[in-house]
Amino acid sequence: MIFITAKFRVLPEHADRFPEITAAFTAATRAEPGCLWFDWSRSLDDPNEYVLVEAFRDGEAGGAHVQSAHFKQAQQELPPYLAETPRIVNTTIDQDDWSELGEMAVPKG
């Protein structure tokens, strides 16, 4: 899978509304057949920073995502709300879902 984590520093005046601002883009991306997940979180340390964790089935699905109409629309619509260019980590890994964190295993039953 293609695994991506990106950090978005949002202008303070838009930070509380950022989930609403990205809602259509998020819904459209989650509806893509190759999208495994597309999840936003707000930083505990910086209320103006959002972290996006996303995964796509493979390179083809990732390519379809960046070529989609909703991605191209987001490229135009989101930057005015941002304080800086988002930072990204993008890698391909040999798995297709989350693994359990064995070091913090919760007993079953």
Average confidence score pLDDT of the chain: 97
Task: Quickly state the pLDDT bin for 81 (edges 50, 70, 90).
Answer: very high
pLDDT of residue 109: 85
| Bridge partners, 2 (sequence order) | 56, 92
pLDDT of residue 42: 98
CA torsion sign for 10, 12, 14, 15 is positive
* Mean pLDDT of the region 79-105: 96
SS3 45: coil
